[in-house]
Amino acid sequence: MTTGFVFDERYMWHDTGSAAAFLPAGGSIQPDTHVENPEPKRRLRNLLDVSGVLETLTDVEPRPATREELERFHTEAYVDRIAAESEAGGGDAGDLTPFGSDSYEIARLAAGGVIEATDAVLDGTVDDAYALVRPPGHHAEADLGRGFCVFGNLAIAAMHARAVRDVDRVAVVDFDVHHGNGTQKAFYDDPNVLPISVHQAEYYPPGEGGVDEIGEGDGEGYTVNVPLPPGSGVGAYETVFDRVVIPALDAFEPDLIYLASGVDGGAIDPMGRMMLHSEGYRELTERLLDAAERHCDGRLVAAHEGGYSSAYAPFSGLAIVEALRGERSDVEDPFMPVFEEMAYQELQPHQETVIEEAAAILDVALRE
Ligand code: ZN
């Protein structure tokens, strides 16, 4: 397989400022490093390099998304505001989304990177692609930055695929530990785009991503949510893919599949309460690739989202890229012996209850 790779050093220069975890420093909060900082992504790129995988990937050069491309999803006023605040040295895009000087240009480059990855896959220059972009995108809404996301990179790329490249049906599988609210809202009434989000229940954004959120109007039945209980491991995630994600893709028959590649479901991620490990991520990615082979000649575009463990995000990311490439490197994940022995990695009854609920809704929604 030929796998495209999007990266730009400027992605690492998006400045989330002084914070403790996700709250801005000040008052009782001593200044510290923001949880969404360059290090986990930079170290993933470094591990791709050291493992020898990077040199097997095909460089796909990012470019800034144009105003027209941004405004297929975002409002003109929102884009204007981000541009002005960035010019003035930084601000907050809305809800927990601090940014610094030049972040407007960097966020445009992130959205444009996913567009270029999409074009490379649609052109057949590469078979599939991984866009290691920053800032992330899946929480951003039309007029509001949320959860560290300025522009909806993947939603904007999917809209480009539909509007400019005449792609008919697009599926988005989001296994980031947080709900893919931005992508969902972008296509909530659209039967041509199927967002599927598998996430930690009732986490972020608060109160969103329930199984009953299935789309509206013409899009009813074309949104899928699986809110897993905290503590879910590889067994729960694989069962979700077996019973919900893959059957949904098989019923929908997409012409292009996106993966919102958040690795914050990893066992020691500071922001997630799940127990995934690199071999779990590899397995989930391989199942998506099989579905992509069945439906759309393997056309799969992954866009990086969350993943906040500097130590571990690189190993999860490496496994996903290796899966896309269809080849393992010599690097063995040194954390695997610990994570695979964690108790409750296998499917638990209370997790299965939620999965069955989502599967039942899916049966009704996609039957017609
Ligand atoms: Zn996340």
Q: How confident is the model at residue 362 (pLDDT cuts 50, 70, 90)?
A: confident
Omega before 195 cis (within 30°)?
no
pLDDT in the model for residue 306: 98
Question: Which residues, other chains included, contact 321 with Cβ-Cβ below 8 Å and sequence gap of 6+?
Answer: 3, 5, 48, 53, 57, 130
173 CA to centre of ligand 1 in angstroms: 13
**179, 132, 144: which is closest to 14 by C-alpha?**
132
Q: Could you tell me the distance, in angstroms and rounded to a whole number, from the CA of residue 139 to the centre of ligand 1?
A: 9
CA of 6 from ligand 1 middle (Å) equals: 20
Task: State both tokens at 272.
Answer: 């997630």
Cα(147) to centroid of ligand 1, in Å? 8
pTM over 0.85? The answer is: yes
CA–CA dist 55, 148 (Å, integer): 30
Quote the mean pLDDT of the chain. Answer: 97
Radius of gyration of the chain, Cα coordinates, nearest whole angstrom: 19
Give the tokens for residue 131: 């866009």
For 201-229, write each residue's pLDDT tens digit: 999 999 999 999 999 999 999 999 999 99
More confident: 348 or 363: 348
Largest CA distance in the chain: 55
Is 277 in the active site?
no
| Span from the CA of 12 to the centroid of ligand 1 (angstroms) | 18
| Separation between Cα atoms, residue 12 and residue 291, nearest integer Å | 33
pLDDT at position 363: 77
Give residue 201 CA to ligand 1 midpoint distance, Å.
12
Residue 201's alpha-carbon distances to 148, 229, 307, 333, in angstroms, are 19, 6, 17, 28
Per-residue confidence (pLDDT) for residue 32, from 0 to 100? 96
Residue in 138, 139, 179, 277 annotated catalytic: 139
The C-alpha angle with vertex 342 and arms to 338 and 347, in degrees rounded to 5, equals 140
pLDDT tens profile 49-84: 999 999 999 999 999 999 999 999 999 999 999 999
